[in-house]
Amino acid sequence: MQRRVRTRTIAVVSALGLMGVLGGCGVGGGSSDVTLKLVAADYGDSAANSSKKYWDDLVQRYESEHPDVNIDVSVYSWTDVDREVKEMVDAGNPPDMAQIGAYADYAAEEKLYKVGDLLSIPVQADFLSQLATAGEVNSVQYGMPFASSTRLLFYNKKLFREAGLTPPQTWDELAAAAEALQDLGVKYPYALPLGPEEAQAETMQWLLSGDGGYSDITSTYSIDSVQNVQTFTWLKDELVGKGLTGPVAPGKLDRAEAFAAFAAGDVGMLNGHPSLMEIAGKKGVEYGMVPTPGVDGESPTTLGVADWMMAFNHNGHRDQVGDFLDFVYSEENVLDFSRDYNLLPVTNSASRAMAASAEDKDLKPFLDQLPTSELYPVGNTSWATVNAAIKKEIGKAVAPNGSPEGVLGGLQATATRAENAE
């Protein structure tokens, strides 16, 4: 079992000028007029910034240099894309490529190409190491990271000034700041979204800050570890129980609602990813960002999330798919996508370029967190079951009559059953 992440990017040819020799063989292969089907997720929030525009431009540039290869791209919302791909696979008609949220189930069913059989050596080697590892099943990479993000603590600078506060570095400082914000009349001193939309993210962020996580050093689920129980006991007693998390019960508060409340000026602090910068900025909220507070100081690890590209082996066309993906993961294309959607590159080359660019200074704090980030265990086929259980149950751990030990123990039992069922 391994830890994984969520995001997207593009790779580059090595500085030595190696020409993308495919892990399989040359692109020609004697075929002509090949059509490759790609299903992709939409990272935009309207037709004006739909991912369709990004793919249309990229495909046009690729096809102009490869007249015998056509790329047919279908873009779906995140609500629909995973289901659409599953229905295609179940019907025996999978796309050649899919850019979605998880790959492990398809890899376990031997439906995917190995990344080493697709990409040129320089491109495969350019993936950030922890993301490449997150794309592995049984030490073989099947998932190609496509986009990524990390988390920081956002705080409302205006409210902090009015309360005479400085950004917290420890849990105790965070609780003290929340009390001061409560005294100021702030609606959500600390917003704790443990609702079903993305509870697994907020949960993992807190577990990591308490020196825990979803799994231990051997990649075995450890959801009910001593550290994790202590973390949720602290949350229940010191934040939720003292009314410092706002009028909506954490188990009923979704991330999108928490972000909207922050943009409305009603939240003092919350964990956020890069998209919150734009959401808050559009509403004129003056915000600051700092690393996640931990028990005794800045948390040594933050949550990393990645989305995935994968290639199905049903239709063949390995060489054409590999050549197209080499192009997708060029430094230029990875940077363009990351900048368009406030995401982090998944390659070393694009990450270095972003770190050195004044254009990307707003993303640099998140980029700095990526090398030490911890990913969801998405390389394990049991993760889908565990993820769904966390979203459904974790809010009960901090409810007035809730038991952190009982809820985390139940989740551990679910994880164990899911593992044994594989």
Closest by Cα among 320, 306, 316, 310 to 376: 306
Instruction: Please give the angle made by the CA atoms of 134, 138 and 144, to the nearest 5 degrees.
Output: 35
Distance CA 20, CA 202 (A): 40
Q: Output the DSSP codes for 137-162.
A: ETTEE-PEEEEEEE-EEEEEHHHHHH
Closest by Cα among 249, 204, 250 to 411: 204
Instruction: Please give the angle made by the CA atoms of 188, 193 and 199, to the nearest 5 degrees.
Output: 170
For domain 152-291+386-421, the CATH architecture is 3-Layer(aba) Sandwich (3.40)
Tokens of 379: 């390389």
Closest by Cα among 381, 320, 307, 319 to 107: 381
Domain topology for 34-149+305-375: D-Maltodextrin-Binding Protein; domain 2 (3.40.190)
The residues pairing with 298 across neighbouring beta strands, listed in sequence order, are 293
Tokens of 18: 């190696």
Tokens of 151: 């988390």
Sign of torsion, CA 319 320 323 325?
negative
Beta carbons of 51 and 59 less than 8 angstroms apart: no
**How would you class 46 by CB atoms within 10 Å of its CB: exposed for 0-12, middle for 13-18, buried for 19 or more?**
exposed
Segments making up each domain of the chain, as ranges: 34-149+305-375, 152-291+386-421
Beta carbons of 320 and 95 less than 8 angstroms apart: no
Q: What is the pTM of this model?
A: 0.82
Tokens of 40: 């992709």
Closest by Cα among 270, 264, 261, 266 to 288: 270
Length of the chain: 422
Secondary structure class of 292 (helix, strand, coil)? coil
Judge if 34-149+305-375 and 152-291+386-421 fold alike in CATH terms: yes
Distance of CA 307 to the CA centre of its chain: 6
Closest by Cα among 70, 66, 73 to 27: 66
Match 């299903």 to its residue by tokens.
Answer: 39
Tokens of 139: 């030490």
Beta carbons of 297 and 169 less than 8 angstroms apart: yes
Per residue of the chain (422 residues), what is the pLDDT tens digit? 333 333 322 222 222 232 233 333 334 444 458 999 999 999 987 788 899 999 999 999 999 999 999 999 999 998 889 999 999 999 999 999 999 988 999 999 999 999 999 999 999 999 999 899 999 988 999 999 999 999 999 999 999 999 999 999 999 999 999 999 999 999 999 999 999 888 999 999 999 999 999 998 777 899 999 999 999 999 999 999 999 999 999 999 999 999 999 999 999 999 999 989 989 999 999 999 999 999 999 998 999 999 999 999 999 999 999 999 999 999 999 999 999 998 999 999 999 999 999 999 999 999 998 888 999 988 888 888 999 999 999 999 999 999 999 999 999 999 999 988 86
Distance of CA 12 to the CA centre of its chain: 22
Predicted local distance difference test score (pLDDT) of residue 201: 94
Secondary structure class of 271 (helix, strand, coil)? strand
